[in-house]
Amino acid sequence: MKRNAFTMIELIFVIVVLGILAAIAIPRLAATRDDAQIAKGRSDVSAIRAAIVSERQGRLLQGSGTFINQLDDGAQNTVGEVLFDDNDANSTNGGTLLQYGIISANANGHWMKTGAAIYTYQIMGQPVTFTYTQASGRFTCDRAAAGNAGLFCQDLID
């Protein structure tokens, strides 16, 4: 007797095995996305800090020891705004901070400008607030912030 098809038991067994594999793989893929958002945020923070130092070094060569007074001329709480990049001829910070700015969005893994010198980076629905201090040139977040914001801040700056 020649058999040309799978039996119902064989098909059910294959479906159960695929279901088990999917149950294991899906949570791992979600964690990978969160890790990628943290890695992107770390990279952005490093680039912003390096740009602040580079701008200061340029000012020192010109005889000024001050830090830039703001990181961009962008509007607050505006989606699609280019942050950390100022190509305006009437710039108040003297030029481009990052060669390619960061587009703001109100979503995970994106930056938003929420104040004159305040920016938030969102991870897993939790905004982490960064503040630029002109006097010291520091761009940092509050590591002791309540809840996950403090933990995410540590992940982004440590």
Could you list the pLDDT tens digit for every one of the 158 residues in the chain?
Answer: 667 888 899 999 999 999 999 888 888 777 788 889 999 999 999 999 999 999 899 889 999 888 888 888 888 999 998 898 865 434 454 556 888 889 999 999 999 999 989 999 999 899 999 999 999 999 999 998 888 889 999 999 98
pTM of the complete model beyond 0.85 = no
Q: Where are the alpha helices (DSSP H) in 62-121?
A: none
| Residue 19 within any structural domain of the chain | yes
pLDDT of residue 118: 95
CB contact burial 56-95 (16+ within 10 A = b; e otherwise): beeeeeeeeeebbeebbbbeeeeeebbbbbbeeeeeebee
Comparing C-alpha atoms, which of 91, 88, 79 is closest to residue 120? 79
| Residue 2 within any structural domain of the chain | no
| Residue 149 within any structural domain of the chain | yes
The CB density around residue 130, as the number of other CB atoms within 10 Å, is 25
| Residue 76 within any structural domain of the chain | yes
pLDDT of residue 87: 53
pLDDT of residue 123: 92
| Residue 56 within any structural domain of the chain | yes
| Residue 97 within any structural domain of the chain | yes
Domain count, the chain: 1
pLDDT of residue 90: 43
Query: Directed axis angle between helix 148-157 and helix 8-61, to 10°?
Result: 70
Domain housing 31: 8-157
CB 97 within 8 A of CB 71: yes
| Residue 50 within any structural domain of the chain | yes
The number of C-alpha atoms within 13 Å of 54 and in the hemisphere containing its C-beta is 12
| Residue 1 within any structural domain of the chain | no
